[in-house]
Structure 1
Amino acid sequence: MNFKKYQQYPTIQNFKREWADKTITKAPIYCSVDLRDGNQALENPLTIEQKLEYFKSLVRLGFKQIEVSYPSASDTDFNFTRKLIEEDLIPDDVAIQILIPAKKEWIKKSVEAMKDVKNGIFHLYNPTNEFQRRVVFQKSDDEIVQMAVESMQYLVELTKDFKGNVIYQYSPESFSQTNLDFAIKICNEVINIVKPTVENKMIINLPNTLESCTPNIYADRIEYMCKNLHHREALIISVHPHNDRGTSVASSELAVLAGADKVEGTLFGNGERAGNLDIINFAFNIYSSGIDPKLDLSIIDEVKNMYEEKTQLFVHPRHPFVGNMIFTAFSGGHQDAIKKGIDFYRQSESKIWNVPYLPIDPKDINRGYENVIRVNSQSGKGGASFIISEFFGVNLSKDEAIKFGDIIKKESDKLQRELKKEEIINLYEKYIKKGI
C-alpha cells in the first residue's frame, strides 16, 4: 500500500475561528434527500408507489423540506413530482425540493415538473473543483462561473410567474474539493442574480460531496464562507455531508456550530458510496442533549420497518439509538450499573434521565426494558436479578443474587448461548424460590 500518493487536506491559514466556543441550542432545518440522493444509490430504485409511501413517512416524521426527485434524470422522477403536485399530496407546511443540473434543457424540464407547486425549492448545481473544471469539463474558471450565472438567470426567468412560494438553492457541487476563494466568488455571483432579501431568502448549499477532511476543517470552511458571502442575513446556509470518512454526523454538528442553518441527509445514512449524513443519528444526538429535535422520533421503529421494506437495506443492530441491540447489555458490570440506575431513577422520581450506558430512555421510542439486559455466560448477578425483578416482581437478596448469578452462568456456558427470559424465570423457580 503506497500511502505517499495521498495528500493531506489543506487547512485555512491565519483564520480566527469562532465555532469552537459555541454549542448547539436548537435543531437546524432538516431536508431529507432520501427520495433523490438515497434513491439513486439503491440497486433497485423506488417505484412511484414506493416513493409515495416513503414520502408520507417522511412527512409523518416531521420533515418540512424533502428533496423528492431529479426530474430531468428519469420519467419516474418527473412523474412522481407531477403526482405529488397534481393530486395535492403535499401538506401546506412542507416544501418539495428538486435537483437541477446547470444545463438549459434540463432546467426547462425540471421547471415543467414543478408547475403549480405551492412551496418549491429549486436546487441548481454545477461542479466547481479545479480537477473537474480542467479534466471533465475542460473549461476555465470564468466559464464555470458563467455556467452557474446563466443557468440561475434562466431558472429565475422560467419561474418568475409561479404563483406558489419559490426558493432558489445553489450548490457548488464539489465544494469539498473546491478552492475556497473560488467557491466564494461563484456563490456571490449567483447570489447577485437571485437578489435575496431577509423576507425572501435563498439557500446556499455547501456539500461535503466527497468527505476528505476532518470535521473541524469542514467547520472552518463553513464559517469562512459564512463570513465572506454577500447578504448573509438573506441566506440560508445548508450543508450536505457525505460519509466517506465515517464522520458525517460530527461534520454536520460542527458545521451547525459554524453557521449552517440547514442540514441535508437521509434516514439511517443511505446514499452513494459510504452514504449521506444519517439525519436520524443527528436528530437523536440533539434530543439526547435536551433539545427539541423537531422530528417525531417516537415512531422511529415504524419508520425503520418502512425503510427496510422499501430499500431492502437493513439498519445495523448497533446503529446509534435505533439498532435492535443499541440498548442491550450482556456484560455483568454494565448490567449491574443499569439495574441500579433504573431503580434509582424510579425510586427518586427524577426528572432527569441519568442511567449508566443508556443514552436515552428506551421507552421514549416505545421500547420496553425487556431487551435492555440479556443474559449469557458473560453476564453476572445483576443481569439475572434485573430479569427477576422487572418481569417476575421479586427483588433478590444479595446472597440470592450471587447464588442465582452462578446458576445462570453455568447454564449459559453449558448451552453455549443466551438464555431467554422464560428460561431464567424457570431456573429461578427451580433453584431459588423452591430452595433446591
Structure 2
Amino acid sequence: MMNIPKGKYRPYPKIELPDRKWPDNTITKAPIWCSVDLRDGNQALINPMDMNKKLELFALLLKLGFKEIEVGFPSASKIEFDFLRKLVDDNLIPDDVTIQVLVQAREHLIAKTFEALEGVKKATVHLYNSTSIAQRKIVFGKSQEEIIELALEGVDLVKKYEANHNGEIFLEYSPESFTGTELDFAARISNKVTARWGINKNRKVIINLPATVEMATPNIYADQIEWMSRHLDNRENVIISTHTHNDRGTSIAATELALLAGADRVEGTLLSNGERTGNVDIITIALNMTSQGIDTGLDFSNINEVVKVVETCTELPTHPRHPYVGELVYTAFSGSHQDAINKGLAYQQSKEDPFWEVPYLPIDPADVGRTYESIIRINSQSGKGGVAYILEHNYGYQLPKAMHPEIGRAVQTLSDEKGRELEPDEILEVFKNTYFNIEEHISFIDFTLSSDNGTSTCTLTYKYDDSVITSQGEGNGPIDACKNALMKKYKNDFSIKSYSEHSCGDKSTAKAVAYIEIQSKEILSCFGVGADNDITIASIKAMFCALNRAFKPNS
C-alpha cells in the first residue's frame, strides 16, 4: 500500500484515564441482553425478512431466553409497523419481555411509533441522533448546542406521547457514532437527556454508547466506557449499554472489555449479522461467559437449530470456522490435536469431577447440542490418534497404542492418493483391507486345545505351501502352544511382541477381537487382527494375519 498519501490516516487519540480500573476487573455475571436482529440485522440484509421470517426469528429469540428484543423501526416502513401490530394483535409478546423500537427525534415519526405501540405493556423507545465530529461537520452542519437541542426535542416528544400510552415506556438514548464523538460532549448530551426525562430509581434510562464504527483498539473503547461511567449524572440510575460493530474485527473483545469497564447491557445479533462487517455476535460473547462458569440466562443448548433458523431467515451462510457454531469448530485435522482430544475425552469420562479439561475444546460440544462423532476427521495432515479414534468410537475397534502408527500410515496413503478428507467408512475400509482382506500364503483351518497342569497342548491344522498341515505344540497358553505347533513346519522364525483383546458390538452379537504384534530379525514390528465368536480363534487368526502381512511371498 505504498500509494497511500502520508497523513491520510491518523492514530486514534489516547484517552486520558491514568487511574483506569477496568484492567483489574473480572466479568462475574451476564449483562442485560438485547437482540437487535430484527432491526439492525434486518436492515443489513440483501433481502430483508418478510413477515413469516420475522415471526420465526422472534419465536427463536424468545426460546433462547431474550427478555429485551428490538423489533424494528415501525415509523420507517409499513412491514415494520405491521410486524409490531401482528405481535400485539396476536398476543405474541410475553409479559416478561420488553420490546424495543427505534425512532428519530421527529414528531410525525414518534407519533407513528406510539400508534404501533398501542396495547404493548412494556416497551423501550430508542431515541438517537448522531453526535460525532464528522457527522456534525459533514452531514448536518450543526453545532454541539444544536445537536443537544435536537435530542431534547425528541425526549419531550416521547414524554408527550408517553402520557397517553397505556403501558410502561422506557427511554433509551444513543449518541450515535459515539466512538467519533468527544467524550465531554457525549457526557454532556447524555446528562441533558436523562435530566429532561426525569431520571430516578423508578425511572431509569438506558444510555447506549455505540461503536457505530469501530475506530480503535478494544482497550480504547473500554477507556471510553469507564470515562463515561464516571461522568454520567445519577449513574446508579443509568443503564450503560454497548452496541459494537466489527469494522476492525474486534467487536467481541471491545464488548467484553466494556463490561469490565462498567457496561450493564449488550445489544447485538445472532451470528454477527449487521451493517458492513456486522454487529457483535451475542452467541460468541455468551458462550465465552459459559466457558468461564457464568450463567448467561440464554439457552444455546441446540446450536444447530439456532444456526438453521438464522440462516433461513437471513439467507446468509455461517462460516465453518465461526466460533462455537461453525461446522468445523469441534473438528481436529492435526494429528497431535486428534491425539490430545482422544486422550482428553477418555480422561474426562474416567473422572468424577465435572470440570472440563479436554485439550483444544474450550467447551463440551454436547453442551450446545453437538456430537463427538464429528470432532475428528481424517485427511493427509491427520495423525495416528485420529484414525484410532474413528475406529474405536464409530466401529468399536480398540487398537493398542503401538498399532496406531501402522494403521495411520495406511490411512494417510489413501488420503494422499485421493487428495481430500476421508469419511469414516473409508477409514474402516482401509482397516479391513489391511488386516482382514489380505493375500494369504498361510491359512488357518482348525485347531483343538487341551490343558493339563498349566500346560496347553494345541493341535493345529493350516494350509501352507499348497499343503494342508497338522502339527502339535505345547506352551504356557493357547497362543504360545499354537505358535510352537506352527513352527514345526513354518520356515519364518518370529516372536510375539504384544497381545491384546476386547469384545466388539452389542452383548447379544458381540465378537471377540484380538491384536497380535510379531517381530523377527528382519521385522521390528507387524500387527495382525483377528475377529471371531471365540476369543482363542480370534487370537490365532490375528497371529496368522500378522504372518501374512509380515512375510509376504517374494517380499
**TM-score, length-scaled by structure 2:** 0.77
Superposed displacement of residue 16, structure 1: 1.6
Matches of residues 293-332 of structure 1 in structure 2 within 5 Å? 293-332=296-335
Aligned with 2:373: secondary structure?
A: coil
2:508 maps to what in 1? none
Change over 3 Å in CA distance of 1:172–1:297 after alignment to 2: same
2:167 maps to what in 1? 164
Q: In the alignment, residue 240 of structure 2 is paired with which amino acid?
A: I
Distance in 2 between the 1:143 and 1:427 partners?
A: 75
Q: In the alignment, residue 92 of structure 2 is paired with which amino acid?
A: L
Query: Mean Cα displacement is larger for which, 138-147 or 1-10?
Result: 1-10
2:20 maps to what in 1? 17
1:429 maps to what in 2? 432
2:350 maps to what in 1? 347
Superposed displacement of residue 127, structure 1: 0.6
2:249 maps to what in 1? 246
2:139 maps to what in 1? 136
Distance in 2 between the 1:344 and 1:389 partners?
A: 15
Residue of structure 2 aligned with 1:370, choices 354, 368, 373: 373
1:103 maps to what in 2? 106
1:67 maps to what in 2? 70
2:281 maps to what in 1? 278
Cα deviation per residue 1:200-239 (whole Å; 9 max; x = unaligned)?
3110000000000111000000011111101111111101
1:404 maps to what in 2? 407
**Is the 2:17–2:227 Cα contact (8 Å) retained in structure 1?**
no
Aligned with 1:226: secondary structure?
A: helix
Distance in 1 between the 2:167 and 2:410 partners?
A: 69
Identity %: 51
Gaps of 5+ in 1: none
Residue 30 of structure 2 is aligned to residue 27 of structure 1 = yes
Aligned with 1:363: secondary structure?
A: helix
Superposed displacement of residue 285, structure 1: 0.5
Cα deviation per residue 1:290-325 (whole Å; 9 max; x = unaligned)?
111211011221011011111110110000010000
Residue of structure 1 aligned with 2:266, choices 245, 263, 267: 263
Distance in 1 between the 2:298 and 2:415 partners?
A: 41
Q: In the alignment, residue 394 of structure 1 is paired with which amino acid?
A: Y
Q: What's the C-alpha RMSD, in Å, of the aligned pairs?
A: 1.2
Q: In the alignment, residue 347 of structure 2 is paired with which amino acid?
A: F
**Is the 1:171–1:204 Cα contact (8 Å) retained in structure 2?**
yes
Aligned with 2:304: secondary structure?
A: helix
**Is the 2:114–2:165 Cα contact (8 Å) retained in structure 1?**
no
**Is the 2:226–2:262 Cα contact (8 Å) retained in structure 1?**
yes
**Is the 1:25–1:291 Cα contact (8 Å) retained in structure 2?**
yes
Distance in 2 between the 1:85 and 1:93 partners?
A: 14
Distance in 1 between the 2:302 and 2:113 partners?
A: 33
Residue 190 of structure 2 is aligned to residue 192 of structure 1 = no
2:129 maps to what in 1? 126
Name the structure where helix makes up a greater proportion of residues: 1
Aligned with 1:7: secondary structure?
A: coil
Q: In the alignment, residue 180 of structure 2 is paired with which amino acid?
A: Q
Superposed displacement of residue 130, structure 1: 2.0
**Is the 1:408–1:424 Cα contact (8 Å) retained in structure 2?**
yes
Residue 364 of structure 2 is aligned to residue 361 of structure 1 = yes
Superposed displacement of residue 14, structure 1: 4.5
Cα deviation per residue 1:328-374 (whole Å; 9 max; x = unaligned)?
01111111111111111111233111111111111112221111000
Query: Mean Cα displacement is larger for which, 267-276 or 110-119?
Result: 110-119
Q: In the alignment, residue 202 of structure 2 is paired with which amino acid?
A: E
Distance in 2 between the 1:416 and 1:12 partners?
A: 53
2:234 maps to what in 1? 231
Cα deviation per residue 1:239-295 (whole Å; 9 max; x = unaligned)?
100000000000000001111100000111011100100111111100111111211
Q: In the alignment, residue 8 of structure 1 is paired with which amino acid?
A: P
Aligned with 1:352: secondary structure?
A: coil
Distance in 2 between the 1:193 and 1:398 partners?
A: 73
Residue 63 of structure 2 is aligned to residue 81 of structure 1 = no
**Is the 2:126–2:174 Cα contact (8 Å) retained in structure 1?**
yes
Q: In the alignment, residue 155 of structure 1 is paired with which amino acid?
A: V
Distance in 2 between the 1:14 and 1:250 partners?
A: 19
Distance in 2 between the 1:411 and 1:262 partners?
A: 53
Residue of structure 1 aligned with 2:397, choices 382, 388, 394: 394
Matches of residues 31-70 of structure 1 in structure 2 within 5 Å? 31-70=34-73
**Is the 2:175–2:190 Cα contact (8 Å) retained in structure 1?**
yes
Distance in 1 between the 2:11 and 2:85 partners?
A: 45
Distance in 2 between the 1:287 and 1:214 partners?
A: 25
Q: In the alignment, residue 379 of structure 1 is paired with which amino acid?
A: S
Cα deviation per residue 1:379-433 (whole Å; 9 max; x = unaligned)?
1110111111212223211232121111111111122221111121222233233
Name the structure where strand makes up a greater proportion of residues: 2
Cα deviation per residue 1:173-199 (whole Å; 9 max; x = unaligned)?
111100000001100000001122223
Aligned with 2:49: secondary structure?
A: coil
Aligned with 1:37: secondary structure?
A: helix
2:419 maps to what in 1? 416
Superposed displacement of residue 4, structure 1: 2.9
**Is the 1:61–1:299 Cα contact (8 Å) retained in structure 2?**
no
Distance in 1 between the 2:82 and 2:432 partners?
A: 63
**Is the 2:225–2:263 Cα contact (8 Å) retained in structure 1?**
yes
Query: Mean Cα displacement is larger for which, 394-403 or 203-212?
Result: 394-403
1:5 maps to what in 2? 8
Q: In the alignment, residue 328 of structure 2 is paired with which amino acid?
A: M
Gaps of 5+ in 2: 436-528, 531-544, 550-555
Aligned with 1:203: secondary structure?
A: strand
Distance in 1 between the 2:131 and 2:52 partners?
A: 35
Query: Mean Cα displacement is larger for which, 246-255 or 287-296?
Result: 287-296
**Is the 1:300–1:322 Cα contact (8 Å) retained in structure 2?**
yes
Residue 170 of structure 2 is aligned to residue 182 of structure 1 = no
Q: In the alignment, residue 14 of structure 2 is paired with which amino acid?
A: T
1:288 maps to what in 2? 291
**TM-score, length-scaled by structure 1:** 0.98
Aligned with 2:7: secondary structure?
A: helix
Distance in 2 between the 1:177 and 1:45 partners?
A: 29
Superposed displacement of residue 15, structure 1: 3.6
**Is the 2:121–2:167 Cα contact (8 Å) retained in structure 1?**
yes
Superposed displacement of residue 117, structure 1: 0.7
2:499 maps to what in 1? none
Q: In the alignment, residue 355 of structure 1 is paired with which amino acid?
A: V
2:458 maps to what in 1? none
Aligned with 1:97: secondary structure?
A: strand
Higher relative contact order by CA 8 Å / sep ≥ 6: 1 or 2? Answer: 1
**Is the 1:50–1:310 Cα contact (8 Å) retained in structure 2?**
yes
Distance in 2 between the 1:227 and 1:138 partners?
A: 30
Distance in 2 between the 1:110 and 1:138 partners?
A: 27
